Structure 1
Amino acid sequence: MKLFMASLATETNSFSPIPTGWSGFKEHLYTKTASRGEPGLYAAAVTCWRTIAEARGWEVVEGLCTYAQPAGPTVRAVYETMRDDILNDLRVAMPVDVVLMSMHGAMIAQGYDDCEGDMMARIREIVGPEATIGLELDPHCHLTEQMLDNATAIICYKEYPHVDVVERAEELFTLCADAAEGRTAPVMRDYDCRMMTMYHTPFEPVRGYVDRMSAMEGKDGILSVSLVHGFPWGDNPCCGTRTLVITDGDAGLASRRAEVLGRELWDMRGDLRRFPSMEEGLERAASMNVAPIVLADFADNAGGGAPSDATFVLRAALDRGWKDIAFGTFWDPVLVGMCIDAGVGAKMAVRLGGKIGPMSGDPIDLTVTVRGIARDAVQHLGKAEMRMGDCVWLEADGVHVVVNTKRTQTFHPETFENLGIDLSRMKYVVVKSSQHFYDGFAPIAAEVIHLGTPGAITPDFTIVPFTKRDSNYWPKVNDPFAEEEAAR
Structure 2
Amino acid sequence: MRIYTAQLSTETNTFAPCPTGWGSFEESTIFHGDASLREPNGMGHVLAEVRRLAEQDGHEIVEGLCAEAQPSGPTIRTVYESLRNEILDGVQAALPLDAVILLLHGAMVAQGYDDCEGDLLAGIRAIVGPDVPISVTLDPHCHFTQLMKASADILIAYKEYPHIDAVDRAREAYELALEMAAGRIRPTIGTFDCRMVGTWPTTSEPMAGFVRRMRSLEGRNGVLSVSLGHGFPWGDVPEAGAKVWVVTDNDAAKAEALAAQLAREFWELRDATRPAWLDIDTSLDRALAVDGGPVVLADVADNPGGGAPCDSTFVLRRVVERGIANVAIGCLWDLGAIQICKDAGVGATLDLRIGGKCSVHSGDPVDLRVTVRGIVEHHAQSIMGLEQPLGRAVWVEAANGLDIALISVRTQVLGVDAFTGLGIDFAAKKLVVVKSTQHFHADFAPRAKAVFHIAAPGALTTAFAELDYRHRDLDYWPRVSNPFAPAR
Give the TM-score range, shorter chain.
over 0.9
Match of 2:473? 470
- Segments of 5+ residues of structure 1 without an aligned counterpart are none
Q: SS at the partner of 1:395?
A: strand
**8 Å contact kept, 1:133–1:151:** yes
Pair 41,141 (structure 1): closer, same or farther in 2 beyond 3 Å:
farther
User: One-letter code of the match for 1:269?
Assistant: R
Q: Which residue of 1 aligns with 2:410?
A: 407
Q: Residues of 2 paired with 1:376 and 1:464: CA distance?
A: 38
AA in 1 matched with 2:14: S
Paired amino acid for 2:324: W
**Aligned residue pairs: how many?**
485
Contact 1:330 1:353 in 2 (8 A): yes
Specify the alignment match of 2:192 in structure 1: 191
Q: 1: distance between equivalents of 2:40 and 2:431?
A: 30
The normalised TM-score by structure 1 is 0.98
Aligned residue in 2 for 1:45: 46
What is the CA–CA distance in structure 2 between the aligned matches of 1:261 and 1:43, rounded to whole Å? 33
Deviation for aligned residue 1:85: 1.1
Q: Give the aligned partner of residue 301 of structure 1.
A: 303
- In 2, distance between residues paired with 1:257 and 1:206? 18
Matches within 5 A, 1:70-81: 70-81=71-82
Of 384, 399, 422 in structure 1, the residue corresponding to residue 386 of structure 2 is 384
Paired position in structure 2 for 1:122: 123
Does the CA-based 8 Å contact 2:40-2:48 persist in structure 1?
no
Matches within 5 A, 1:65-464: 65-272=66-273, 273-397=275-399, 398-464=401-467
Please report the RMSD computed on the Cα atoms of aligned residues, expressed in angstroms: 1.2
The AA in structure 2 aligned to 1:476 is R
Equivalence for 2:27: 27
Q: Is the contact made by 2:6 and 2:87 (CA closer than 8 Å) also made in structure 1?
A: yes
Q: Which amino acid aligns with 1:221?
A: G
Distance in structure 2 (CA, Å) of the matches to 1:176 and 1:454: 44
Q: 1:49 Cα shift? A: 0.9
Structure 1 pair 402/471, CA: closer, same or farther in 2 (3 Å)? same
Please say if residues 8 and 67 of structure 1, whose CA atoms lie closer than 8 Å, have aligned partners that are also in contact: yes
**Runs ≥4 residues deviating over 3 A:** 39-42
Letter in 2 for 1:423: F
Distance 1:483 1:45 in 2: 45
CA contact under 8 A between 1:5 and 1:101: conserved in structure 2? yes
The residue identity in structure 1 corresponding to 2:341 is: C
Give me the whole-angstrom Cα distance separating, in 2, the residues matched to 1:393 and 1:317: 17
SS in 2 for 1:442: helix
* Corresponding residue SS for 1:473: coil
1:41 deviation in Å?
A: 6.7
Specify the SS of the correspondent of 1:162. coil
Does structure 1 retain, via aligned residues, the 8 Å contact 2:290–2:450? no
1:134/1:151 contact within 8 Å kept:
yes
Identity value in percent: 47
Q: Which runs of 5 or more structure 2 residues have no equivalent in the other structure? A: none
Distance (whole Å) between structure 1 residues aligned to residue 221 and residue 139 of structure 2: 26
Worse overlay, 277-286 or 78-87: 277-286
Aligned-partner Cα distance in 1 for 2:102–2:340: 41
Structure 1 residue 161 displacement after superposition: 0.6
| Deviates further, 297-306 or 386-395 | 386-395
CA drift of 1:460 comes to 1.1
Deviation of 1:278 after TM superposition, in Å, equals 2.1
39 and 232 in structure 1: CA distance in 2 versus 1, 3 angstrom threshold = farther
CA separation in 2, counterparts of 1:44 and 1:424? 30
Report the TM-score when normalising by structure 2: 0.98
Whole-angstrom distance in 2 between the partners of 1:53 and 1:88:
22
Tell me the SS of whatever aligns to 2:259.
helix
